[in-house]
Structures are given as structure tokens and as C-alpha cells.
Amino acid sequence: MAAPVWSGEPAVPAYSFLKELAKRGYQGKVSAFETDAGSTGKFFASFAAEAKSLGLDYDQK
């Protein structure tokens, strides 16, 4: 999943997308890459934490 970085975090729509995947019972892996014009901040750590908290299998590559 690609998402822009907003203040060092994944954009709010990225979190909404993860919640929708979990709600629909998605069984595959999720992964992320980002787009930004500066610092990625806590983007990857925050994305992974949210995915894992929703019971999604996060694949960090």
C-alpha cells in the first residue's frame, strides 16, 4: 500500500483502508511504501503497529 506521509505518520486514509481490510476479514499480508518530500518520521513503525493491532499480517520489506 502506498500512502503519503503527513507529519511523520501515514495519511489518515491509510488507517481507514487498514481498518476496512480488517473489517472484511482480509487474510493476506499488508506492506507499505511511502511518498514524501522530506522526512518519513515514524511512518513505517506507525503503519506496522496499526496493521498488527487490527490483526493484519504486516510484511516489512
For residue 56, is pLDDT > 80? yes
In this prediction, residue 37 carries a pLDDT of 79
Q: pTM to 2 decimals?
A: 0.85
Residue type, 42: K
- pLDDT of residue 55 exceeding 90, the answer is yes
CB contact set of 47 (below 8 Å; sequence gap of 6+): 3, 10, 14, 18, 32, 58
